[in-house]
Structure 1
């Protein structure tokens, strides 16, 4: 074994031994439904709200003032009118002060705004989560805001936004409700209340063991009998679960043996996640990244600065430009996947409140894997030779943009971004 191979093996053993799970748990017996468009997602959400008899909770970064959002608001108003307890959390920057807020108040809908100002009592932090729970029976989590699929800050997109969400039914719904209730109380009290002992209390080693056993069965071609399909709801905050989502990614990528597929609009992860992707590619894993573009110019210049080390390790990179890529999804070895609100950048991984769902051995992973592969095939591949031959002026601009972004994120995250 070469020195490089020994280092890779040592890294893999370190991943196996570390407690990468935070306060979240895997549960079995959950039904999962994957949505790849806002239209389908809103239709399902509205149907569940209209059938609600006791409680509806909803948390979102953006609640727009458009037809899609008005339809969801109308369902919330109908639920409140028949006596359902409706609570809504919106973000103070992501969502403008809308006229419907007054309608909600008049109808008895409880509404709280997370961090109403750019710098508030929670610092620069935003709630970037997209969650809903209905009657403790159904829950939703993903990257889809309450906004028209074709609208991007008032500009009409050529195709629907590329995004995903999941509907959950089963034990995991309780964990979504716990996360919402904690956030609701936090906004009122100004801090993170201590969760109940059994609320989100995961055994990280058991989770890792489950994933390793599943991977071994998958390598023998027995994926569907490798174990029971399981789901974990993973929420990050700035108190208990500061690195929860990042650690979930690190565990999966560290265990990958065949394939890592990752799609994200704002790809600016810290060193640990970049190293995990590089080490995976160097040990022969097919690592493919689909990266969004054309929303924030500084990222369009800064992100390519990271390509050199990734390309040299054998990571395949493609930039998606057909429409706005907003999905934050990944699939590893066809048996692990995640859907959620967390971008792979400093704001999502270190500062904002985020929520992802991790799926192990669920059938929906095939659909998600196919969507990522199709997006990769339809994107502009980054050729290593052309990348290295870029004009010096372009390389310098990329370096300046990256260093500026890194310095700003270091400041905003009080040194938390690496």
Structure 2
């Protein structure tokens, strides 16, 4: 599905679970016809149980509900949790479920990493926040810092159409080479009856392993290349490709104020180790780097100059840029850009440590050799990862996996 810039929207920044969960649950409670929900992680904790309760109430009053979770990210939902939903009429789908091998999850690659909620085709949420209690501050020092947006207006039907189309994953044959070469990709539909909710221009961008393998990264590079005043990127897992790094260095060298907010207290130590391999290369070009130390950074947001911003699920690392299924919203709006910029500036001032060139001063043969291998890896990893098994992903009804009542139900024809 080819997307387009769409005006007539209102976009609200939601920071952490304290802002995100109440709004989502409030909108679920008001739903009249349809709820589409995709999440990488759904845990059976206080947030997951609150979501389950909200969905059950909506289902019992006749709302059509489809919930999709990733088989790797949400492996431990109990039969009782899923059964309560399915018996109320909620259709629960698991993306690429795989059996464990010696206790380990095997479907490491090609994850469904999107976080999308669409309510009645009039309101949508897109971002990086999973349905888990570790997105709330009271979880403790390992609670995640993260972001999402609430969208009202003319972009929402496009997101709804996309979310509905993803319920057919695994049932459609991949397009033939001839079709991919000569067939024009259909445009996303435009709902001409939905009233405008504001003046904000938006673009819904996804990454998949067919036609849209690099769309999110490409929009990042376009924005960086066009920046004249400032670039701020806050991203949890930062190990991007060579071309994006080159654009950041070029921007800094032409006088753009380029700032990166990266993890200082990572949830996985390898994240910090990988990012630090790039620090010297970026700092010598004038890029400013800030490590966020208050708690693990899980956000995936960015802005350039005074209009362009993006919020979504895509990290800037090999998994998100070359393997995972991702979704971002790009926003052209001065007020949103300013609000996000003020928040990130506050983060840098109060919760980050700026990394100086003296902190990573390096010299010698080992550094030269390491840089050589790292940057050749960055040049080539998208192609290398593309050779990993590109099996056709499957959406499986959750009750079939657990032999729950209703497991003989067929979902064909249920997507309206």
TM-score bin, normalised by smaller chain? 0.7 to 0.9
1:170 aligns to 2:143 (yes or no): no
TM-superposed deviation, 1:157: 3.2
Tell me if structure 2 keeps the 8 A contact 1:56–1:134: yes
Aligned to 2:330: 358
Shift in CA distance, 170/362, structure 1 to aligned 2, threshold 3 Å: farther
CA drift at 1:190: 6.8
Deviations 1:34-75 (A, max 9, x none): 100212211111111111111000000000111112111111
Equivalence for 1:307? 279
- TM-aligned CA deviation for residue 242 of structure 1: 0.9
- Offset at residue 290 of structure 1 (A): 0.4
- Residue of structure 2 equivalent to 1:107: 88
| Cα gap change, 1:59 to 1:259, in 2 (>3 Å) | same
Match in the other structure for 2:30: 51
1:343 corresponds to which residue?
315
Shift of 1:351: 0.9
CA positional deviation for 1:179? 1.8
**Quick check: 1:130 aligned with 2:118?**
no
- Contact between 1:267 and 1:344, CA under 8 Å: does it hold in 2? yes
Aligned counterparts of 2:211 and 2:189: Cα–Cα separation in 1: 11
Residue 60 of structure 2 is aligned to residue 88 of structure 1? no
- What does 1:15-414 align with in structure 2 at a 5 Å threshold? 23-99=2-78, 100-117=81-98, 124-149=109-134, 156-158=139-141, 160-189=143-172, 191=174, 197-199=186-188, 229-293=200-264, 294-377=266-349, 378-389=351-362, 411-414=384-387
Residues in 1 aligned to 2:202 and 2:128: alpha-carbon distance in whole angstroms: 17
- 8 Å contact kept, 2:16–2:136: no
In 2, are the aligned partners of 1:124 and 1:412 still within 8 Å (CA)? no
* Pairwise CA distance, 1:414: 2.2
Q: Following TM superposition, by how much is the alpha carbon of 1:391 offset from its aligned partner in structure 2, in angstroms?
A: 10
| Contact in 2 for aligned 1:287/1:316 (Cα 8 Å) | yes
Output one character per residue of 1:158-214: Cα deviation in whole Å (capped at 9) or x when no partner: 27421111111111111211221221101444758999823179xxxxxxxxxxxxx
| RMSD, aligned CA | 3.2
Change (3 A) 1:196 1:34: same
**Cα 1:246/1:200, change in 2 over 3 Å:** farther
Q: What secondary structure sits across from 1:30 in the alignment? A: strand
CA distance in 1, matches of 2:58, 2:185: 29
Question: Structure 1 residues 293-302 or 23-32, which shifts more?
Answer: 293-302
Classify the secondary structure of the residue corresponding to 1:77. helix
Counterparts of 2:345 and 2:369, CA distance in 1:
31
Runs of 4+ in 1 over 3 A off after TM superposition: 149-152, 187-196, 389-393, 395-413
Closer, same or farther: CA 405–284 of 1 in aligned 2, 3 Å: closer
Aligned length: 365
Contact 1:266 1:291 in 2 (8 A): yes
Structure 2 unmatched ranges of 5 or more: 99-104, 191-198, 390-416
Relative to structure 1, is the Cα distance of residues 412 and 173 closer, same or farther in structure 2, using a 3 angstrom cutoff? same
Under a length normalisation based on structure 1, what TM-score does the superposition of the two structures give?
0.79
- CA pair 79-405 structure 1, distance change in 2 beyond 3 A: farther
CA contact (8 A) 2:235 2:297 kept: yes
Greater Cα shift, 33-42 or 83-92: 33-42
State how far apart, in whole Å, the 2-side matches of 1:388 and 1:410 are. 32
Contact 1:256–1:332 (8 Å) recurs in 2: yes
Residue 412 (structure 1) shift = 3.8
1:372: Cα distance to partner?
1.4
| Aligned residues of 2:227 and 2:304 also touching (Cα < 8 A) | yes
**Secondary structure in structure 2 of the residue aligned to 1:40:** helix
TM-score by length of 2: 0.80
**Unaligned segments of structure 1, at least 5 residues:** 1-21, 202-227
The structure where helix makes up a greater share of residues is: 1
Measured after TM superposition, the shift of residue 397 of structure 1 is: 12
Shift of residue 270 of structure 1? 0.1
What is the CA–CA distance in structure 1 between the aligned matches of 2:352 and 2:369, rounded to whole Å?
23
Rounded Cα–Cα distance in structure 1 between residues aligned with 2:92 and 2:369: 44
